[in-house]
Structure 1
Amino acid sequence: MIGRTAFVLAAAAVVSTAPAAPVSASNPGVPASFTQDEVRIRSGPRLGAAVQGLGRRHHRVTVWCEEAGDPVTDNPYWFLLTDHTTGARGYSYSVYLALDAARPVPEC
């Protein structure tokens, strides 16, 4: 039982390393969904950042803001998001998401 408790605590510590989502009246977030399966949700906008979870095609998310990070293609922007299916919060590379609203995503 101690091993299982340690695993749960370690997993909770990893999830909590992502920055808080900047929710406010001026930033209600932008609804979106993943366009592919197995999209990594990371603790920062870097390829080496810890993986917080995996997004799957059509998971509903809220995108809070965008931040320049490690470029994967010519686009260096990553979205800070919350995955409503899994509860994971962190950064995913912007090209793997489809935004549902025409409003702009603010900078982090």
Structure 2
Amino acid sequence: MNTIVEYLTGMNKLTDQVIAMDFLIAAKTGVRNYAMAATEAITPEIKATLTKQLDEAIDTYEQIAAYMIERGWYKPWNAVEQFRMDVQNIETALTLPG
């Protein structure tokens, strides 16, 4: 995104956070999908492959979560603060020109 547009829309502070949260949600979805697929695998070889991919997806999720926690963008152990941040991000998104 153009830096001037980011500044004018307020996205200059949210862009990295929004991308990281989107990545975190996608990683969490991947974990869930691999877990379901692994439990329904027909052959031991397929189950082993899916389990390996599940482990990698969990590692990816943990890395993204740690990155976001370190920057104060994600507070999984403080639901009240996380909710406040989510509401603030929603309000910012709603004020963006559409």
Q: Same fold (TM over 0.5)?
A: no
The structure carrying a bigger helix percent of its residues is 2
Larger Cα-atom Rg:
2
Return the structure number with greater strand share: 1
Per the normalisation by structure 2, the TM-score is 0.25
